[in-house]
Amino acid sequence: MFRRTPFILLGSSIFILFLAWSKPALYSQDKFNLLGFSSPQKEARKGLKVFISADIEGIAGVISSSQTAPTGEEYAKAKDWMSNEVLAAIEGAKAAGAVEFIVADSHGSMQNLLPEKFGLDTKLVRGWARPLGMMQGIDNSFDAVMFIGYHAQAGTRDAVLAHTITGTIYNLRVNGITQLEASLNALVAGYYGIPVIMISGDQAVAEEATKLLGRIEVAVVKRGVSGSVITLPPQAACQLIREKAENAVKHLKDFKPYKIQPPYKFEIDFVSAAIAEVVSWIPDIRREGNRTVSYTDGDLLKIMPLLRIITRFINQGN
């Protein structure tokens, strides 16, 4: 049966987007660093500053909605596992000279990490309303980026909880290159000239990230086998992440930012033609096929908020 809910939600989002697009100043670079904390420039600091984006699907022990959904019977445990893996990355980075950390809690409501576990050298980005989504809080003052608990792109074989931003997107391409969440977020880091130096998650995301990003430290904490998952226990996963993070920071100069030459043409294949139809109503978005839309712009920081609004509203409507 045809559902009208996505149309109602996206209709309101189109109005919001129209207002935003009429005021380009909203998309200034300074607008995206919403933390409000001052930080010494790279040259003035005595140690390294690291940005960490953390998801939950790639955390060891996480295999289903029982761990990823707030109503899941093991969600509370998964929040603890997730927090400990991020802490392990911080500990490893500190052992190699990092002194300051910003961690973007980036799953679901973006309120999963347990704040009481973190020290004075760390600040957390929590809550959803973020123009840069999983990369909110990044700017050009950072030396390196790490991804913890990441997953493979939608449709990947033998991947654990694979998807691309939302379950309504089957494929997302930038200038013809298929992107997973890790590479899309690495593109944001690359905008600021910052390399992604490490990723943790399952075997599938490690392979996909390495293919697109080039050299990167990988901490494989689990792998999918048909419909099941072979996973490290939390303690072993943390030990591996700690070692990989330390090694990544020690060899920081070996990593390069991920960049794609602008202008950026974003193409999205949705799972439904109805969703593509509604999204195509947004100004400057083109319908490219039954389930495909595209948007082109030379400013990556203008595209990312648009992508966040689209995915947020279509996700709520399905």
CATH number at 12 reads: 3.30.1360
pTM: 0.90
Same domain, 306 and 189: no
Same domain, 107 and 177: yes
Q: Which residues make Cβ contacts (< 8 Å) with residue 111, sequence separation at least 6?
A: 105, 126, 127
At residue 132, φ and ψ (nearest 5 deg) are -100, 10
In a domain, 72, yes or no: yes
Q: What is the CATH number of the domain that holds 91?
A: 3.40.50.10780
CA nearest to 149, candidates 227, 236, 229, 60: 60
- Give the three-state DSSP class for 219: strand
229 & 96 share domain: yes
Q: Which residues pair with 228 in a beta bridge?
A: 225
Query: Is 259 contained in some domain?
Result: no
In order along its 318 residues, the chain shows pLDDT tens digits of 333 344 444 445 444 454 444 444 444 455 555 555 545 566 566 799 999 999 999 999 999 999 999 999 999 999 999 999 999 999 999 999 999 999 999 999 999 999 999 999 999 999 988 999 999 999 999 999 999 999 999 999 999 999 999 999 999 999 999 999 999 999 999 999 999 999 999 999 999 999 999 999 999 999 999 989 999 999 999 999 999 999 999 999 999 999 999 999 999 999 999 999 999 999 999 999 999 999 999 999 999 999 998 988 777 654
The DSSP line for 132-163 is: TGGGTT--TT-SEEEEEEE-PPTT-TT-SS--
Asked whether residue 272 falls in the same domain as residue 164, the answer is no
In this structure, the answer to whether residues 203 and 231 fall within a common structural domain is: yes
Q: Are residues 110 and 208 in the same domain?
A: yes
- Distance, in Å, from the CA atom of 40 to the CA atom of 45, rounded to the nearest integer, reads 6
pLDDT at 82: 98
- Residue 11 structural domain: 5-27+264-316
Contact yes or no for 205/180 (Cβ under 8 A): yes
Among the candidates 254, 273, 303, a domain finishes at 254
Is residue 221 classed as helix, strand or coil in its secondary structure? strand
- Does residue 148 form part of some domain? yes
